[in-house]
Amino acid sequence: MRIGLWRDKTKLPSREEALPGRATPLPAPEPHLVLGTSPLPPYPPGCMVALFGMGCFWGAERLFWQLPGVYTTAVGYGGGYTPNPTYEEVCTGLTGHAELVLVVYNTDPTQGQTTTFGELLKAFWEGHDPTQGMRQGNDVGSQYRSMIVATNEVQFREAEASKASYEAALQRAGYGPITTEILLRPAPPGALPAATFYFAERYHQQYLARNPFGYCGLGGCGVPFPAVQ
C-alpha cells in the first residue's frame, strides 16, 4: 500500500497517483454539538452552502460556527481525487484533498438571523495566512492549503473580487501573493456539490467543542479585510 511516508506532501498527486478510496462513505455526522442542527442536506429554505480550507479544520470550524447567521458547520475533505477518504489517507498527501469546513448560512430574514457570503469571506481572509502555499504555520502539506469552494456563480465572483482586494492589502503590508484556490462547484440551493466534499470522521466534528483546550492552528496576518467595492 502506498502510504506516502517518504513523499513530499506539499506536492499534489495526479489522478493516477491518488489513493483509490472507497465507494462507501464514512458514517454520517451526528447533529451539531453546539448549534444542534443537522449537517446533512437538505437544508432549510434560504440556506446557502460554501466550503473553506484554512489549514487544520478544527479551529476553522469553530471560527465559522461562532458567526451569527450560520445554520450549521461540519468538517471534511475536498478538492482532490480520492472518494470517501479517511483522515489517515488525507495525511499521506496522496488524495489531493484539503481539510475543509462546510458552512451553511441563512440568507432569509424570515428564517432567523442572517449573514452574507461577504461576512464569511471576511472571517476567512482575516482568520489565516493565505500566502503560505501548501502549509499553514507549522502544519505542512497539501491538506493544509487555503481554498474556497463556491457553489454558485455569484459566490465565485465575490470570492475572486475579495481575493484581489485582500491581496492588495496584504502586499501593502509586506506579504507575498495569495495562494488560495478558488473553485466553482455548482449545487442547487440547500444541497452539497456532488463529489466535492466528503464528511470527516465523527471525532473531528466540532472537535474544539469536545476538547476546548485542543489544538487550534489558526493565525491571521493582522491585516483587516477591506470592503469589496
Tens of pLDDT, residue by residue over 211-229, are 999 999 999 999 999 975 4
Report CA-CA distances (Å) from 8 to 18, 77, 94, 179, 186. 14, 19, 10, 18, 32
Residue 7: the pLDDT is 74
**What are the catalytic residues?**
56
Domains present along the chain, CATH in parentheses: 47-210 (3.30.1060.10)
Phi, psi torsion values for 52, nearest 5 degrees: -135, 135
Residue 5: the pLDDT is 52
Q: Is the pLDDT of residue 156 over 80?
A: yes
pLDDT one-digit tens code per residue, 92-132: 999 999 999 999 999 999 999 999 999 999 999 999 999 99
Sheet holding 70-78, edge to edge: 181-184, 146-150, 47-54, 98-106, 70-78, 197-199
Mode of pairing for the β-strands spanning 139-140 and 47-54:
unpaired
Report CA-CA distances (Å) from 5 to 1, 105, 122, 155. 11, 38, 36, 37
Residue 173: the pLDDT is 98
pLDDT one-digit tens code per residue, 4-39: 456 799 999 999 999 999 999 999 999 999 999 999
Residue 190: the pLDDT is 85
Q: What is the mean pLDDT of the chain?
A: 95
Nearest Cα neighbor of 206 from 76, 50, 41 is 76
pLDDT one-digit tens code per residue, 172-204: 999 999 999 999 999 998 899 888 999 999 999
Residue 2: the pLDDT is 43
Strand partners, 150: 184
In this prediction, what percent of the chain has a pLDDT beyond 90? 93
Q: How does residue 50 score in pLDDT terms, banded at 50, 70 and 90?
A: very high
Mode of pairing for the β-strands spanning 98-106 and 135-136:
unpaired
Residue 163: the pLDDT is 98
